[in-house]
Structure 1
């Protein structure tokens, strides 16, 4: 599974409640019909600055759309988010976490800054300031350097 979906699904740093999952789901569901189409999924991924092919979007849809109706329901999206947050997911989860981290790490310097976080959240339509993002960074910045390292990102994304 490409990390783009993983990243998007957790764009607010960590989806800790069904309310968070619903809020992110609604961002994907651009036309408000209660389901995510492949076009809507591709649109969000493109907004994040990723050039994902139609084949990759189709593979994502296939993985998440468990009832095979051609759309992602809120329940399927929630199940996907819960599965992706499983810290016992092994090697594939580690790879997906690394890819998710790299999506946020826009300058590829090995750390996520408040400015990079702000850029991604703004692309997703979130209304927040760089100052807000600085606060989000501080909440997971265990070494106090003002950035989120991959290790800090991993801990944050695998918290129950």
Structure 2
């Protein structure tokens, strides 16, 4: 998911949003993200990230080398550094995690599955409302272009 120098969460501009995402990764609530917690969230999202890749990600993000990622390291990692592609690769990777059937569209059902895997208590109707709020062309799905616009508005 992350490669050297990449910023997989470039759309997290607001510190409150960073804290919410951090809390999802910090499964035991100790204020630190361990390698096991990072691996668990990636797996829940459907990523086939290997333990070796997780170790590389941890090494990249854990700047104080204490073996865990704290909120400051996570926030630094999530800052938009205006990279060459503007984060397009990372946005596509995020989109692909939600697009479970790989048809180029995120349905309310796919959104519901992912959010429930992440421990969110929401209904299909909630997810339908979320989809409708960003569904510019009215087809009932979120395509990558709509997803990019939605993430750009955060």
TM-score band (shorter)? 0.7 to 0.9
TM-score normalised per structure 1? 0.82
**3-state secondary structure, aligned to 1:151:** helix
The equivalent of 2:22 in structure 1 is 25
The equivalent of 1:154 in structure 2 is 148
The equivalent of 2:138 in structure 1 is 144
Q: Give the whole-Å Cα distance in 2 for the aligned partners of 1:42 and 1:123.
A: 14
Q: 1:92 deviation in Å?
A: 7.0
The equivalent of 1:113 in structure 2 is 107
Q: Structure 1: which 5+ runs fail to align?
A: none
Q: Give the whole-Å Cα distance in 1 for the aligned partners of 2:124 and 2:15.
A: 26
TM-score normalised per structure 2? 0.85
The equivalent of 1:79 in structure 2 is 76
Q: 1:135 deviation in Å?
A: 1.2
Q: Report the RMSD for the aligned CA atoms in angstroms.
A: 2.3
The equivalent of 1:67 in structure 2 is 64
**Does structure 1 residue 134 correspond to structure 2 residue 131?**
no
**3-state secondary structure, aligned to 1:35:** coil
**Does structure 1 residue 100 correspond to structure 2 residue 94?**
yes
Q: Give the whole-Å Cα distance in 2 for the aligned partners of 1:90 and 1:155.
A: 18
The answer on whether the counterparts of 2:13 and 2:79 sit within 8 Å (CA) in structure 1 is no
**3-state secondary structure, aligned to 2:46:** coil
May I ask how many residue pairs the two structures share in their alignment? 151
Q: 1:15 deviation in Å?
A: 4.8
**3-state secondary structure, aligned to 2:87:** helix
Q: Structure 2: which 5+ runs fail to align?
A: none
Task: Give 1 or 2: higher helix fraction.
Answer: 1
